[in-house]
């Protein structure tokens, strides 16, 4: 299947029409579209054979990229400026490709062995927020722990050494535009740095013990001074959020059950929740089951609540922080994106066409390049 290209000029005209309509007619649609920022969503599903790039604001497809995902989900990550798409896939041989999203020209594939084969929507690639490093999770099926390969984005090469977090088999990485990074495991969170010259590639730094038996997600504040680790939802509704202040060297555990009252249907929704931080660092977005909440970071109290009627499969703030985006699968197996624009009274629902779904799904969001 060849890459499918859509006319960029048509998309720009359609986006302009939507914005002008909002300005002229106002009302609920005006609030929803008038404040909306241009956002592209990169969506893939297990064994779909493709990554679909979709303009959420214009509600139009942009591009389709072929992937080899018969053995496990493809991994996707996008640079903060939206100009680079990183795709990890492969059957017997794993590969990393980097696409220029202005031309859809891929780099020469970078081959490596034993990418993590995921079947739960978690990506086998993590791109640092400063854009310098792409971490590739690898490991054989029989292995109890993942090994991290590090791709130097600037140099366009894999670093020769590998790293394994001694605290757990599958760490959850988080990072900040400042370059700060953490690795979170059940029971421990620690800072990490990459040293490409000599010695170990990934160097663990300061760490603290955390009282979590599972890690759902982790984020860092934009300045890299605070880290947040979201635990899993318990059957009785308990939902812990760990806050680690790296500057003050303090650790707090917040219980989200009281302010959020999540519906703890572990059989229907599992235990995993989702967490993101707004680009300006003022808000946290959390999601579980068929609901999402926006929390003021200063107080960790909810300022907006959303109910979707469908399980949330992933969640993220838009690049400018003007919207909170959620990923869903409709009963007819089509993908839907919930676009909750700040200040709007409703959630706009966008159906992503051209992506067959028969398993887990995931997405990444970025501005148009």
Tens-place pLDDT, residues 175-192: 999 999 999 999 999 999
pTM listed for this prediction: 0.88
Mean pLDDT of the chain: 87
Q: What is the CATH number of the domain that holds 250?
A: 2.130.10.10
- 187 within 8 A of 167, measured Cβ to Cβ: yes
Tens-place pLDDT, residues 139-180: 765 455 678 899 999 999 999 888 888 888 889 999 999 999
Domain that holds residue 215: 4-366
Tell me the H-state helices in the chain.
Answer: 8-25, 27-34, 257-260, 266-269
At 25, give phi and psi (nearest 5°): -105, -15
Q: Please give the span between the terminal C-alpha atoms of the chain, in angstroms, as a whole number.
A: 24
Can you tell me the mean pLDDT for 13-36?
Answer: 40
Residue count (the chain): 369
Which percentage of the chain shows pLDDT scores above 90?
Answer: 68
Q: Is 155 helix (H, G, I), strand (E, B) or coil?
A: coil
- Which of 61-78 are b and which e, b meaning 16 or more Cβ less than 10 Å from the residue's Cβ? bbbbbebbbeebbbbbbb
Indicate the pLDDT class of residue 10, thresholds 50, 70 and 90.
very low
Can you tell me the mean pLDDT for 255-280?
Answer: 86
Looking at residue 139, what is its pLDDT? 79
Looking at residue 334, what is its pLDDT? 95
Looking at residue 349, what is its pLDDT? 95
Range with the lowest mean pLDDT among 36-40, 103-107, 240-244?
36-40
Indicate the pLDDT class of residue 121, thresholds 50, 70 and 90.
low
* 367 has a pLDDT exceeding 70: yes
- 95 within 8 A of 89, measured Cβ to Cβ: yes
Looking at residue 1, what is its pLDDT? 40
As for how many domains the chain has, the answer is 1
């Amino acid at each position: 299947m060849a890459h499918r290209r859509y006319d960029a000029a048509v998309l720009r005209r359609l986006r302009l029409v939507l914005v002008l309509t909002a300005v002229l007619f106002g009302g609920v649609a005006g609030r929803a579209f008038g404040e909306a920022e241009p956002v592209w969503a990169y969506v893939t599903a297990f064994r779909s054979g493709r990554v679909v790039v979709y303009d959420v604001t214009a509600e139009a497809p942009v591009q389709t990229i072929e992937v080899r995902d018969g053995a496990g989900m493809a991994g996707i990550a996008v640079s903060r400026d939206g100009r680079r798409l990183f795709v990890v896939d492969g059957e017997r041989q794993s590969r990393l490709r980097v696409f220029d999203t202005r031309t859809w020209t891929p780099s020469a594939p970078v081959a490596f062995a034993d990418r993590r084969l995921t079947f739960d929507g978690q990506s086998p690639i993590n791109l640092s927020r400063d854009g310098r490093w792409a971490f590739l999770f690898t490991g054989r099926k029989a292995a109890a722990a993942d090994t991290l390969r590090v791709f130097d984005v600037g140099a366009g090469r894999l670093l020769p050494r590998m790293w394994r977090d001694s605290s757990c088999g599958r760490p959850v990485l988080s990072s900040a535009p400042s370059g700060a990074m953490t690795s979170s495991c059940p029971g421990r969170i620690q800072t990490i740095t990459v040293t490409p010259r000599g010695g170990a590639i990934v160097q663990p730094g300061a760490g603290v013990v955390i009282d979590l038996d599972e890690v759902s997600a982790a984020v860092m504040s934009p300045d890299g001074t605070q880290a947040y680790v979201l635990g899993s939802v318990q059957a009785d509704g308990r939902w812990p959020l760990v806050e680690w202040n790296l500057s003050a060297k303090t650790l707090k555990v917040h219980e989200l059950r009281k302010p959020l009252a999540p519906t703890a249907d572990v059989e229907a929704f599992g235990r995993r929740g989702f967490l993101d931080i707004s680009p300006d660092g003022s808000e946290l977005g959390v999601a579980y089951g068929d609901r999402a909440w926006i929390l003021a970071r200063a107080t960790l109290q909810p300022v907006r609540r959303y109910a979707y009627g469908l399980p949330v499969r992933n969640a993220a703030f838009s690049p400018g922080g003007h919207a909170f985006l959620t990923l869903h699968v409709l009963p007819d197996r089509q993908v839907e994106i919930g676009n909750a624009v700040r200040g709007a009274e409703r959630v706009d629902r966008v159906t992503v066409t051209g992506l067959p779904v028969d398993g887990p799904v995931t997405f990444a969001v970025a501005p148009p390049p």
